[in-house]
Structure 1
Amino acid sequence: MDIKLVVFDVDGVLTDGSLYYSENGECIKRFNVKDGVGLKLLQDKGIAVAIVSAKESEPLSRRISDLGIKHFYPGSKDKLATVHGIAQQLNISMHQVAMVGDDMVDLNVMRVCGLSIAPADAYVRVKSQVDWITEAKGGEGVAREVADRILSLYYDLDEIYQLTTTEYFERKR
């Protein structure tokens, strides 16, 4: 397996899929810090990360900016075309793409990728059609689990995680 790009859906993958609204009608999203570390590690090791979501939100845009993710496509109405475009831009084949999704809208992409992954609590029809189901539920470390598993194909994870606290925080910037 030669994964060069990992694509993540947002709601139900990087979040638990819940929608929280403030008194003012503002949508609030909760993200897992462990997922952020996983996304950064993938990028640090030369594996591109893309976030492709059908929805747009300010909290999501801020989180992606904080993580320095270059390939961010909110409001994508055609995820398959979006992912094909990213693969072309990176000059890789769809077999070098891993897709992490949780619902039916993600399946058309997952069917043509080299590796399809769903969270433990993904929609049952999705879980029945993917290569791998994570132990983590959406919003509870899915991206970190995916990052660890993909990175373990190429690296010794013990070496990656033997950073001093200073090195760790310097790499997070």
Structure 2
Amino acid sequence: MQTLTPELQARAAKIKLLVMDVDGVLTDGRIFIRDDGEEIKSFHTLDGHGLKMLQQSGVQTAIITGRDAPSVGVRVRQLGITYYFKGIHDKRAAYAELREQAGVAEDECAFIGDDVVDLPVMVRCGLPVAVPEAHWFAKRHAAYVTQRSGGQGAVRELCDLIMQAQGTLDAALAEYVK
């Protein structure tokens, strides 16, 4: 388990909704394009299981992404992510709509991103998070930078951090060693 600073503990304890970017966060940021134009993305199973555990603990999950790749829609359905905003050019407006739909305040939202296009959400949410490969300006506005890379368990690290702060992680993990 991580050692959380009092400020990080307080921020993470309030989270009711985790919002994620996709490319560079749930993936390593590379996009493979087949000759027919189909995009291929690679997702990490650690992130997927972390999201399922987080959802079971009562935290809602959402994606706001600028791209519209069919593979992301498949992954959203596989993971049971409730809110999916795709092809978004104005993340600020999508974030406001999302919060209204989810019924949460800004300080009850965490967001994990990797680039300046994520800043309109990062500067408004209660827990802004960046991955290590994020643009330096995005990292400057993050309250936390994950140790794990995008597409390599960064989202799982954040899920564990939130659950740890909310006191739900130990019980969730204990279920696997009964």
Structure 1 length as normaliser, TM-score? 0.91
- Compute the RMSD of aligned alpha carbons: 1.5
Q: Can you list the C-alpha shifts for 1:69-106, whole angstroms capped at 9, x where unaligned? A: 11011111211111111111222211111111100000
Residue type of the alignment partner of 2:153: G
The percentage of aligned residue pairs carrying the same residue is 37
Residue type of the alignment partner of 1:106: D
Dislocated runs of 4+, deviation >3 Å: none
Q: Can you list the C-alpha shifts for 1:94-147, whole angstroms capped at 9, x where unaligned? A: 111111110000011110111100001111111122110000111000110000
- Structural mapping, 1:143-162, within 5 Å: 143-162=155-174
Counterpart Cα distance in 2 of 1:45 and 1:31: 22
Q: Tell me how far 1:156 sits from its aligned partner.
A: 4.7
Q: Tell me how far 1:164 sits from its aligned partner.
A: 4.0
Residue type of the alignment partner of 2:66: A
Counterpart Cα distance in 2 of 1:112 and 1:156: 25
* Corresponding residue of 2:39: 27
* Corresponding residue of 1:75: 87
Counterpart Cα distance in 2 of 1:37 and 1:23: 32
Q: Greater shift after overlay, 123-132 or 140-149?
A: 123-132
Contiguous gaps of at least 5 residues in structure 2: 1-10
Residue type of the alignment partner of 2:111: M
Contiguous gaps of at least 5 residues in structure 1: 168-173
Counterpart among 62, 65, 72 of residue 50 in structure 1:
62
Structure 2 length as normaliser, TM-score? 0.88
